[in-house]
Amino acid sequence: MAELQISGDLIASENDKVRTAQKSDYDALGARLDRHGVDIETITNKVAAFFVAVPSWGVGTGGTRFALFPGHGEPRGIFDKLDDCAVIQQLTRATPNVSLHIPWDKADPKQLKAHADALGLGFDAMNSNTFSDAADQKHSYKYGSLSHVDQATRSQAIDHNIECIDIGVAIGSKALTVWVGDGSNFPGQSNFAKSFERYLGSMAEIYKALPDDWRIFSEHKMYEPAFYSTVVQDWGTNYLIAQTLGPKAFCLVDLGHHAANTNIEMIVSRLIQFKKLGGFHFNDSKYGDDDLDAGSIDPYRLFLVFNELVDAEDRGVPDFHPAHMIDQSHNVTDPIESLISSANEIRRAYAQALLVDRKALGAFQDDNDALMASDSLKRAYRTDVEPILAEARLRAGGAIDPIATYRKSQYRLKIGKERPASLAGGGGII
């Protein structure tokens, strides 16, 4: 039977150390926001209701194509991974759901559900894997999967995605994310039109297997592992896919899957406007698909993405409920600490975006007042919303300072003794 790993008493005693300071900071911020006509309680309640899913593959140490340097207490399988995910949720109260990757996380669905239930966790979108070969599979994905020239290979990839849906149904998931590594390394290696046609045909088969209340997310990525062309390379192609498949198909935006300097927030706006934004894989990048911690390189860009989401929320865009998920690879940090920090950064961007004075911004835009329009975003972004984030955690039973409390718990040391060192944990960069 799974049990919560961090003692409630420890969280309470750590909170007690900083409770007075937290109250004072929260009250001061409340007074400051009040002067601008903003009710801090409204913001805190919205932040407390904002959740982001943790990727099962993120709690193991990630690797590069050069090497993987595992840490202490690496999860040995999905049940250990769920235990680690529960620690993140216990301390942040921002991550109640886990996104699974099949076949890495394959297990008896009943046991998965029971283990997650006992930990107070649920499941977000399922992720299929047709970018690497499983030990027992008949046809290789070396030259592609859903767009492969060979029908038998495509069928195998389709069947795998349908199996992911079946597992997802059994554990309470409501969406499937499909990312394929299909593409080419040489001009002329594959026919662009034919491979995309085959991909669409395969996706249509998967789409047919979706339950009525499910969504399917296609994830674009401009390069890697294919370095000349990928079949689903950008948001335009992704939009075509979602549009072609039907109303249950949406586009997933992984922040790292674009060319450097791409205006991602504008892509988000376009997809919202045409009702095809399915959700996100949050992370950060400097050069490419670096899978760095959310908000660690360009927190302003993360804020600008959330500015579009809050704008849509504000305008009351119908049926607007994008899936928020993290997709990161942690190579030099304790993955649990990175995911705690990332969940907080994502909530921070949301809280800052909620502080934008949208009425004033709209008036500046209408007056062509570029400087003040920009300043109204900056004003919100400059606000230190940490007291709001801490208050949301505290009220939900989490930690005012989750990283400090995690370190105090010595969880890593403890599980390091229980889990023998191994290279297990699978890959982790998509």
Residues near Mn ion (CB under 5 A) are 254, 281, 327, 430
Work out the burial of residue 238: count CB atoms within 10 Å of its CB; fewer than 13 is exposed, 13-18 middle, 19 or more buried.
buried
We find the least distance from the C-beta atom of residue 105 to Mn ion, in angstroms, to be 16
**Contact call for residues 67 and 38 (beta carbons, < 8 A):** no
Q: How far apart are CA 278 and CA 130, in angstroms?
A: 21
- For Mn ion, which is the closer residue by CB, 218 or 341? 218
Instruction: Give the SS3 label for residue 290.
Output: coil
- For Mn ion, which is the closer residue by CB, 54 or 430? 430
- For Mn ion, which is the closer residue by CB, 148 or 281? 281
Q: Residue 215: name the closest of 269, 276, 267 by CA.
A: 276
Provide Rg for the chain, Cα atoms. Answer: 22
Q: What are the residues facing 323 on neighbouring strands?
A: 279
Torsion of Cα atoms, 286 then 287 then 291 then 292, to 10°: -20
We find the least distance from the C-beta atom of residue 327 to Mn ion, in angstroms, to be 4
Total count of residues recorded for the chain: 430
- For Mn ion, which is the closer residue by CB, 84 or 254? 254
- For Mn ion, which is the closer residue by CB, 291 or 391? 291
Q: How far apart are CA 160 and CA 156, in angstroms?
A: 6
- For Mn ion, which is the closer residue by CB, 58 or 73? 58
We find the least distance from the C-beta atom of residue 258 to Mn ion, in angstroms, to be 12
Work out the burial of residue 137: count CB atoms within 10 Å of its CB; fewer than 13 is exposed, 13-18 middle, 19 or more buried.
middle
For the chain, the straight-line distance linking the first and the last C-alpha, in angstroms and rounded, comes to 32
Q: How far apart are CA 428 and CA 63, in angstroms?
A: 7
97-99 and 126-127 beta bridge pairing: unpaired
Tokens of 184: 């080419």
We find the least distance from the C-beta atom of residue 58 to Mn ion, in angstroms, to be 11
We find the least distance from the C-beta atom of residue 233 to Mn ion, in angstroms, to be 14
- For Mn ion, which is the closer residue by CB, 276 or 281? 281
Q: How far apart are CA 392 and CA 397, in angstroms?
A: 9
- For Mn ion, which is the closer residue by CB, 80 or 327? 327
Instruction: Give the SS3 label for residue 279.
Output: strand
We find the least distance from the C-beta atom of residue 69 to Mn ion, in angstroms, to be 22
Residue with tokens 């099949």: 102
Work out the burial of residue 146: count CB atoms within 10 Å of its CB; fewer than 13 is exposed, 13-18 middle, 19 or more buried.
buried
Instruction: Give the SS3 label for residue 238.
Output: helix
Measured in degrees and rounded to the nearest 5, phi and psi for residue 179 equal -125, 130
**Contact call for residues 279 and 322 (beta carbons, < 8 A):** yes
Instruction: Give the SS3 label for residue 326.
Output: strand
Strands (E), 190-318: 215-219, 229-230, 249-254, 277-282
- For Mn ion, which is the closer residue by CB, 283 or 352? 283
- For Mn ion, which is the closer residue by CB, 102 or 390? 102
Helix axes 335-354, 40-48, angle to 10 degrees: 140
- For Mn ion, which is the closer residue by CB, 254 or 308? 254
We find the least distance from the C-beta atom of residue 356 to Mn ion, in angstroms, to be 27
We find the least distance from the C-beta atom of residue 359 to Mn ion, in angstroms, to be 35
We find the least distance from the C-beta atom of residue 110 to Mn ion, in angstroms, to be 28
We find the least distance from the C-beta atom of residue 428 to Mn ion, in angstroms, to be 10
We find the least distance from the C-beta atom of residue 243 to Mn ion, in angstroms, to be 21
